[in-house]
Amino acid sequence: MRLILLLSLLVACSTVVASDQIPGAPQKKPIALVNAVVHTLTGPPVEKCTIIFDEGKITDVGQGLAMPAKAEIIDLKGQHVYPSMIEAHSQIGLTEIAAVRATIDFAETGSINPNVSAHVAVNPDSELIPVTRANGVLIAVSAPAGGLVSGKASVMQLDGWTCEDMTVKPDIALVIHWPQMVPQPRPKDAKAEEGKTEKKNQAMKDLRDLFDHARAYSKARPANPAAQFFDSRLEAMLPVVEGKIPLLVAADRADQIQSAVAFGVEQNVRVIIFGGYDAEACAELLRRYSVPVIIDAIHKDPRREHEDYDAAFTLPERLRQAGVKFCISGSGRSETWNTRNLPYQAATAAAYGLPYEDAMRSVTIWPAEILGIADRVGTLEKGKDATLFVSDGDPLETETQVTAAWIQGRKVDLTSRHTQLFEKYSEKYRQLKDGR
């Protein structure tokens, strides 16, 4: 009896966390989208434009193009074509329902886990994936969390049978959650504050020890590979200490940002700041060392009582004016379900001063540049991946609908749990109305 109950529970849980959409089939012939307004993001929009892609790559963009033989021609009748929006930080595919522990897979036990790689744990059947891509967000970073050194973040495309199918770039950065560096000025509990200081000092020691050990390991293994033991954590640190991938540092306070940048300079590694609430106060430092910022979701209240109500909304424009490279994230620290609202985060930034063109760039080409994938995505150019979407208007407006999407030339199913519920309850009220 207990076995039957357990199996029933497992079946019930699987229906909660598994989507029904079938991934797109590989592109078999050229596709030409004609009579479109194409937003390449390398220049102004081009009306009555054609974009052609074959074998998952864009082969041509322009007006009056010759059609390839046997091409599938799709007349968009004036609809708009954009490159995929890119979520620069999330736990998509790593978490489903916060209240159900079995669906949470973004954190490992322990504080130091550089050997963790997010892409191997991504669930391709997550219900959050179709909901997100239906809004034009076809690429997202899945990042581990928890502890001091959480592991490596991965760039994923939001369609595929397996996590391998979905992986665009497996290890783009090592995620570190930076400790708070400065104690509260007037702590209510002095003993607790002393404990925080000790914890901070220990965290910084652990970080430096990790880098020192990794550098020693990188020299010892080639010198005597037979005698040197294999250490998965130190092995995972090699791309970091060799400068191949940056640190993705979660830090909001000015003291955290300053300390993280100083650590990057000390260790001769690149740094990307995620969060960056106080980044404007560190603008000169960030410019000097070319440190970009992934702005945490901007739909939030000010952190301090004396700040303006729109402090978070205006941060993108203030960073732009300060000359700091940035992009916008939609999901924040733990709101993976909110990734679908990435375009509206950019829209709010535009409403609070950020030029519209830069608002679009902040969720397309700028995250691609920061993440090191601009050679493949972020704009609509010849040779880049055919990862794009079609909309009936401005995608930063809530009324706009995404009508079609392709990921590497594969047509994507835009239905989701949301559309299924919409159809279900629309039919309910149609039947109720007809029955009266």
58-74 burial, b at 16+ Cβ within 10 Å, e below that, comes to bbebeeeeeebeebeee
pLDDT bracket for residue 434 (50, 70, 90)? confident
Query: What confidence score (pLDDT) does residue 110 get?
Result: 83
160: left (phi over 0), alpha (psi -120 to 50) or beta: left
CA distance 14 to 101: 14
Query: What confidence score (pLDDT) does residue 15 get?
Result: 43
Query: The tokens of 353 are what?
Result: 């001063």
Find the helix or strand (DSSP H, E) in which 155 lies. strand 149-157
- Do β-strands 46-54 and 57-62 pair in parallel, antiparallel, or remain unpaired? antiparallel
Q: What is the mean pLDDT of residues 280-302?
A: 94
* Distance spanning both ends of the chain, measured CA to CA: 46
Asked whether residue 361 carries a pLDDT value surpassing 90, the answer given is yes
232-241 and 190-223 are packed helices; what angle lies between their axes, rounded to 10 degrees? 90
401-417 burial, b at 16+ Cβ within 10 Å, e below that, comes to ebebbbbbbbebbbebe
Q: What is the mean pLDDT of residues 70-93?
A: 95
Query: What confidence score (pLDDT) does residue 6 get?
Result: 47
Asked whether residue 52 carries a pLDDT value surpassing 80, the answer given is yes
Find the helix or strand (DSSP H, E) in which 89 lies. strand 85-90
Among the residue ranges 74-83, 146-155, 223-232, 310-319, the one predicted with the least confidence is 223-232
Asked whether residue 420 carries a pLDDT value surpassing 60, the answer given is yes
363-374 burial, b at 16+ Cβ within 10 Å, e below that, comes to bbbbbbbbbbbb
Single pTM value for the model? 0.90
Find the helix or strand (DSSP H, E) in which 233 lies. helix 232-241
- The answer to whether 363 touches 328, Cβ cutoff 8 Å, is yes
Find the helix or strand (DSSP H, E) in which 326 lies. strand 326-328
- The answer to whether 375 touches 63, Cβ cutoff 8 Å, is no
Q: What DSSP assignment string belongs to 271-327?
A: EEEEE-TTGGGGHHHHHHTT--EEE--S-S--SSTTS-TTHHHHHHHHHHHHT--EE
CA distance 267 to 269: 6
- Mean pLDDT, the chain, as a whole number? 89
Query: What confidence score (pLDDT) does residue 105 get?
Result: 66
Phi, psi of 362 (to 5 degrees): -70, -15
Residue 210 carries which DSSP code?
Answer: H
CA distance 433 to 390: 34
CA dihedral angle for residue 38, residue 39, residue 41, residue 45, rounded to 10 degrees: 90
Query: What confidence score (pLDDT) does residue 10 get?
Result: 47
Q: What is the mean pLDDT of residues 232-249?
A: 95
Query: What confidence score (pLDDT) does residue 315 get?
Result: 96
Find the helix or strand (DSSP H, E) in which 152 lies. strand 149-157
CA dihedral angle for residue 282, residue 305, residue 300, residue 259, rounded to 10 degrees: 30
Query: What confidence score (pLDDT) does residue 188 get?
Result: 63
**pLDDT top residue among 187 and 92:** 92
164-176 burial, b at 16+ Cβ within 10 Å, e below that, comes to eebbbbbbbbbbb
Query: What confidence score (pLDDT) does residue 199 get?
Result: 86
Q: What is the mean pLDDT of residues 407-433?
A: 91
| Identity of the residue numbered 257 | I
Q: Tell me the Cα Rg of the chain.
A: 23
Sign of torsion over alpha carbons 42, 46, 51, 56: positive
> How many other β-carbons are positioned within 10 Å of the β-carbon of residue 418?
14
Q: Which domains does the chain show, CATH number per domain?
A: 20-83 (2.30.40.10), 85-177+244-376 (3.20.20.140)
Among the residue ranges 105-114, 160-169, 274-283, the one predicted with the least confidence is 105-114
Query: What confidence score (pLDDT) does residue 257 get?
Result: 96
